[in-house]
Structure 1
């Protein structure tokens, strides 16, 4: 009997363990209901819990598995389910989709930039008295645009990021009027953040942890605040670029970039949605992680709260299919509410097909330089000066030191693949002590290379670009005297070291230099096309300043975000990434929306795209990191120009329904089946016929006709003439080639015909797609409405 009891108890223990194991295999699923306009009770959280109760054993278990309700970005909820429970849920009435959250980890991707693009306003924090303008006079300069847009004072921008440091002067509400009545959001209490931290500038704040904690466990509150407060600076930086107040005499560590820090729309209201958190067990300099269910809930709340613009400096390291991209999916529901959505293109350049956020209803923003540089030259003992760049606040003693390559002072036995990069514990202190060490980029983190040189006793280090990175030289606040050089200049250093019996050098202190040329140019890290998901849509859309941007920072994190080593504190910091370029375009969208409240989000995107600049400040075409002319896969339409975008003449408009039809024609028939049933495929237009301000044709065979429609938003009576420029491989024509308008708001359609010149197509056209580029434009007096064209052949 005792043996039987033991066996029975053992079985119970095994069954309990198995049940526990099964429970631990639960994953987050997103449950989506059908019929957006009907059955509004399906938005109710109690209804969602009742659905969960039907597949769970108890009310307690149902509540414990619940993650989020979604009301505005979709109709449904997220919950922890087993595979069997998910299957049962999918068979229930009203449920159209139950799909596993794939655990996709999205990540986070000023004093000179606004002046550089022509937006200059008064420096008084109150920004003067606003006067209503009764005329529609042409916007002649940045001051006109800012005053006409009232500095964005009635517009609300939602920041999906990792929080905000509300005490920064950039978020002062001095002189601001009441919060807009349309605002429906809240100021959520949390650690070191409560309702008193919101004001008439930061009008709302929320945070989202359920998805993160479901996947990674409880937040380590030594690494981040369990609230909307930003610990590492990224969210504060992006928010102040969009809508920071004017703060005179701001500068980065060491006094670099001193000037008035101000956002592009300094009177706009900011709503904070913190959805990104530290990577578990890793330092801040390795980035943050944002789960798709948290992002979706943040966007869901932002849509319901009443934001006008969403600025999302978040992306994935590789392109994501539409059906798996929660940012793209939620963004389309935002477009339905006429919310402009701007997203960063990603920092995976210069690799081709590396773009994030490629949905055509999103403004996808790449990064460019501005005409300011932080120069820290190297003086060689023979008198040669080699240019370098740095914002390092520590200076070298005024004397020469031995100059060596990292590979000459490494510890023995280091693998060849790791040689020359100054990786952790790679340098020999007996050889590196007292020397300036040249470390190459390509492997390892830039700032840690300097720490490795310091550990080995080096007195300074030089960061050398590899050939791929070319002329795109980073500026970092290193911990020891340091500078960074281009690939060509590192070759000069190598030649000097190899040809000299006693190479010696001195790193000069860094200084801020304005009006540098050429500018703008494309940042090497800015992600590139072609669009890997839909080759019918040209992405990125546009570039904007994203290199060495000064903006507000968390007062609890150092300028390098290396929290475990960098104990320095700054109120303003220089940072780079498409995370910085995105809020520039978001600010421009705020100003356009303030000036043109009836424009759709598509019209605002069109205005920005068709007026973008393609010439730098030397009068030559924009270049990339190699110094060669940049293609539309790097720059999109070109560098944004908010002043010109305010008066574009014509716009390419598109509606929410147009985008739904596009998803059907593209083949994503299940993408929005919860809200829309695709028509018969025989009646669908081609994806290229989406009324987009640019054209991309993949595998052209002969001739392609593409329909476009423009809306007159300029002078009531106007005549636009067609012109085009194309390479020898294809031609671009329009029918009709003259557009005559007699009132504002008038729409005229035309056909663009792209024809392959078969005799000019290269012999290797059978292989991987090679694209060729041209453009066409409609011109009337000062209006030039330009559209880029990209074509590959089959």
Structure 2
């Protein structure tokens, strides 16, 4: 149904139909999965009261830009999508005259720009004035794992919010472990129930590795009657347990830094982190009659040390062009509540009670539309800003600190994270609306970037419809990006980096402050920039050199450069590769 909010819906499946040799049973733009509905409503959903998932997170919700109108372009079908269909969706969006594209999809592995459909489609979009926002990917915390590497795209990582969905598992002996759950069911706090490990409940002739995950038909229902079943988290749907006489389920993870989600079953259930999972296993193994009880899920607000980086969020360095920092930014992407298609119930259960109008999902796909919605707001406030200016405003006003004023941490290890996880930092929408200064880029700047990346007129032609002759000399270090990444710095030579700032605010004088990366000497000239009017441009030069002795064994050193006039703080990350590693 098309209305004043959803003003268009298109679908593209010709390549899928040819290569899969099948006709879709639902040839329409309708969302039968829920991913598109969730991301679209996160970007631009209207204000809705009484939003919750099984009573959790109850309140009024909206998308990042609730007054925006939206168009959906469906190019993925069932479990797959083809390049031609995806590119057709990009071209249709360009022809339709949309302003912002929220692209929560990615390839299986990074590809060179001229071979990457999303790179080609997004570059065409950029050339036509669209801003493209893309998810970083969900293959973290492995380095070099992100697939959205284009400098003309805003690449978004995923981080937590200050809201958690928790419950407790209380053991015999009164030890309490905190888990994650959105189940509306809980056991009595005055009674303990027997615990049974999945391996002890294995059905006859079932594979041990399936029983370990509590896969359907791998567990003997008689063995779990009246007990709490202890499973290990996997990809298997454990909703079958609801049809048994088990009183509850506890899911475990035993690999550190593994992301886990709030449990969702129609019975008492809890998902435990690695530390508490190991504690519970030791308790079961060392106790003659292990007992426990499980509380129902509850919503906790005001969590400190937030945001934290999601373990699944794909990481840099940039695998295609390591001289460009990626991701660019991070935004909320963990346990995000947004609209659900209702064509598919949560966890795929046939239980109709699980079909809800709202759903909780985690992923960089969820972080991406937060930024896309912010871009819409910035375009409305500043219709004369280029896509690069908008990206700069978002990046230079982002923060690398959490709500305690400390550096952003990894979600589970609690270790301090780096720009390879969060880019310039976590978005701060109100500050992005008034950044003071921006690093701007035009079409020729991106074409020169491709030249410096090693492309010639032929390869550039895969992305650019015109003919472009590369300049004889262009140093990629001088590409006017809002971050500075140096991968080749030796002891005997310094490197000069030039940047240009454009004033988008009132006349003002800015001073520079430098947080120097370890083992590096950094100087900036000039150290004061005076802007007389809006639109003024000023150049500055950053000179980097190595200290004579570096004892740090880190692969990279991190710092920052901030231009401030007392009101605005225009911050750029500085990343320098350790030449001794």
Q: Is the 8 A contact 2:239 2:349 kept in 1?
A: no
Aligned to 1:167: none
Deviates more, 1:479-488 or 1:228-237: 479-488
Of residues 512, 515, 518 in structure 2, which corresponds to 1:725? 515
Of residues 286, 300, 304 in structure 1, which corresponds to 2:95? 304
Give TM-score scaled by structure 1 length: 0.69
What's the CA shift string for 1:91-128, capped at 9, x where partnerless?
xxxxxxxxxxxxxxxxxxxxxxxxxxxxxxxxxxxxxx
Aligned to 2:439: 652
Q: Is the 8 A contact 1:319 1:353 kept in 2?
A: no
Matching of residue 781 in structure 1 with residue 554 in structure 2 = no
Deviation at 1:688, TM superposition (A): 2.6
How far apart, CA to CA, are the structure 1 residues paired with 2:550 and 2:19?
A: 54
What's the CA shift string for 1:202-230, capped at 9, x where partnerless?
11111101011112122442xxx311111
Of residues 22, 31, 38 in structure 2, which corresponds to 1:230? 31
Deviation at 1:413, TM superposition (A): 8.2
Of residues 363, 368, 378 in structure 2, which corresponds to 1:577? 363
Aligned to 2:73: 273
Cα 1:414–1:752, aligned 2, differ >3 Å: closer, same or farther? farther
Deviation at 1:412, TM superposition (A): 7.5
Matching of residue 469 in structure 1 with residue 257 in structure 2 = yes
Q: Is the 8 A contact 2:194 2:290 kept in 1?
A: yes
User: Aligned residues, how many?
Assistant: 572
After the TM superposition, which residues 409-558 of structure 1 pair with which residues of structure 2 at under 5 Å, given as runs?
409-410=201-202, 420-429=212-221, 431-441=223-233, 444-445=234-235, 448=237, 450-451=238-239, 453=241, 458-469=246-257, 472-558=259-345
Cα 1:327–1:524, aligned 2, differ >3 Å: closer, same or farther? same
Unaligned runs of 5+ in 2: none
After the TM superposition, which residues 60-71 of structure 1 pair with which residues of structure 2 at under 5 Å, given as runs?
none
Q: Is the 8 A contact 1:651 1:712 kept in 2?
A: yes
How far apart, CA to CA, are the structure 1 residues paired with 2:244 and 2:147?
A: 39
How far apart, CA to CA, are the structure 1 residues paired with 2:349 and 2:281?
A: 34
What's the CA shift string for 1:637-695, capped at 9, x where partnerless?
111011000000110100112111111110122332263445356x2312232110011
Of residues 375, 396, 399 in structure 2, which corresponds to 1:610? 396
What's the CA shift string for 1:711-737, capped at 9, x where partnerless?
011222x11111111232213221212
Matching of residue 249 in structure 1 with residue 56 in structure 2 = no
How far apart, CA to CA, are the structure 1 residues paired with 2:574 and 2:209?
A: 41
Deviation at 1:781, TM superposition (A): 0.9
Q: Is the 8 A contact 1:309 1:586 kept in 2?
A: yes
Of residues 384, 400, 405 in structure 1, which corresponds to 2:192? 400
After the TM superposition, which residues 312-461 of structure 1 pair with which residues of structure 2 at under 5 Å, given as runs?
312-396=103-187, 399-410=191-202, 420-429=212-221, 431-441=223-233, 444-445=234-235, 448=237, 450-451=238-239, 453=241, 458-461=246-249
Whose RCO is larger (CA < 8 A, sep 6+)? 2
After the TM superposition, which residues 760-775 of structure 1 pair with which residues of structure 2 at under 5 Å, given as runs?
760=550, 762=552, 770-775=555-560
How far apart, CA to CA, are the structure 2 residues paired with 1:354 and 1:694?
A: 20
How far apart, CA to CA, are the structure 2 residues paired with 1:592 and 1:365?
A: 17
Q: Is the 8 A contact 1:334 1:340 kept in 2?
A: yes
Q: Is the 8 A contact 1:317 1:348 kept in 2?
A: no
Cα 1:787–1:413, aligned 2, differ >3 Å: closer, same or farther? farther
How far apart, CA to CA, are the structure 2 residues paired with 1:721 and 1:548?
A: 40
Cα 1:680–1:545, aligned 2, differ >3 Å: closer, same or farther? closer
Matching of residue 701 in structure 1 with residue 502 in structure 2 = no
Could you say what secondary structure the match of 1:257 adopts?
strand
Of residues 260, 275, 290 in structure 1, which corresponds to 2:81? 290
Deviation at 1:437, TM superposition (A): 2.6
Aligned to 2:387: 601
Cα 1:317–1:593, aligned 2, differ >3 Å: closer, same or farther? same
Aligned to 1:214: 18
Q: Is the 8 A contact 1:240 1:262 kept in 2?
A: yes
Deviation at 1:706, TM superposition (A): 1.4
Cα 1:488–1:529, aligned 2, differ >3 Å: closer, same or farther? same
Could you say what secondary structure the match of 1:719 adopts?
strand
Of residues 759, 767, 781 in structure 1, which corresponds to 2:549? 759
Q: Is the 8 A contact 1:732 1:753 kept in 2?
A: yes
Deviation at 1:563, TM superposition (A): 6.1
After the TM superposition, which residues 103-142 of structure 1 pair with which residues of structure 2 at under 5 Å, given as runs?
none
What's the CA shift string for 1:302-345, capped at 9, x where partnerless?
01111111111111232222122111111112111221110011
How far apart, CA to CA, are the structure 2 residues paired with 1:633 and 1:532?
A: 11
How far apart, CA to CA, are the structure 2 residues paired with 1:419 and 1:709?
A: 60
What's the CA shift string for 1:523-556, capped at 9, x where partnerless?
1111111111111110001110111111111132
Aligned to 1:740: 530
Deviation at 1:585, TM superposition (A): 0.2
How far apart, CA to CA, are the structure 1 residues paired with 2:495 and 2:307?
A: 34
How far apart, CA to CA, are the structure 1 residues paired with 2:558 and 2:200?
A: 46
Unaligned runs of 5+ in 1: 1-196, 280-288
Q: Is the 8 A contact 1:365 1:544 kept in 2?
A: yes
Q: Is the 8 A contact 1:432 1:453 kept in 2?
A: no
Aligned to 2:419: 632
Q: Is the 8 A contact 2:166 2:262 kept in 1?
A: no
After the TM superposition, which residues 74-85 of structure 1 pair with which residues of structure 2 at under 5 Å, given as runs?
none
How far apart, CA to CA, are the structure 1 residues paired with 2:354 and 2:314?
A: 31
Matching of residue 263 in structure 1 with residue 52 in structure 2 = no
How far apart, CA to CA, are the structure 1 residues paired with 2:536 and 2:351?
A: 61
Deviation at 1:393, TM superposition (A): 3.3
Deviation at 1:423, TM superposition (A): 4.1
Q: Please say which structure displays the higher CA radius of gyration.
A: 1
